Structure 1
Amino acid sequence: MIVLDLKCDTGHVFEAWFGSSGDFEEQKGRGLVECPICGSQKVGKALMAPAVGAKGNRKSDTPAKGNAPVPMQSGGEGSPAEMKALLSKLAEAQAKMLEKSDYVGKDFAREARAMHDGQQDERPIHGETTLDDAKKLVEDGVPVAPLPLPVRRREREN
């Protein structure tokens, strides 16, 4: 799992978690990465610098925080610390919501449509679908929405 600081085209800097750098690129390519503040999908990696401790023969006024990424510039409404706190709360809320939801994998569009059409009992679900299939669901009045943060699939956990 990696943490990336991302920045949208309007200047908002935010933090996001991904299974790998490749997962970020794949999700971005599928249109699944967007700014949580303004919704822009024009998102890239923000300029970051690692927190590097002082040389061994120098005394530092503040202790280093390991190798945590530190954004070099901020933008938008609120400091990076405030944004990280808000995203942390969002991640907690999403995790709590997903505890009561069934993961249906790549069958998401079929399952959502079947519930909408009355062919299955309604229940909270989450899963994966293509952007085209998601748009078709919305056009047909099926109540769906993207999750605000990426979800680590159980089969990928160690």
Structure 2
Amino acid sequence: MIRYDLVCDKNHTFDSWFTDSAAYEKLSAGGLVTCPHCGSARVSKAIMAPAVKRTDRDQPALPSAPAGAPAESGPVALLSEKDRQIRAFLRAVRRHVLENAENVGDRFPEEARRMHAGETEERAIYGGASLEEVRALHEEGIEVLPLPRLPEEGN
């Protein structure tokens, strides 16, 4: 398998996988390689940096094949150690809040105001609030923090 960075005549860039360079040439000549943005069949290979495995580094090379393709054996580092530590910390913070605070849902701004005004006992809460509601709480001197959203929640 080979991946090419491609560009259409309207300068849209994208990439695509092919069995080999001959497969790309055949499909391109037949007008079957089209831009996903505008549908143009006037597509050419963009300038690419070759993926060359370095032997002078301790880190393993990133995979160059698509998901599901046979991979070389050995560990692959997709995140640096520092990134893994940060994500682990964010997961721990989120888990702590979910286990130790009360979910007040969309009532969060009102509950935070009631606690700040002394109308109800202070306790750990979390819930939903719009950006405007959060700004208003900050302007009122009420300290709130966003609950970290984990990267896998967006996938």
Larger RCO (CA within 8 A; separation ≥ 6):
1
Larger radius of gyration: 2
TM-score range, shorter chain: 0.3 to 0.5
TM-score of the pair, normalised by structure 2: 0.47
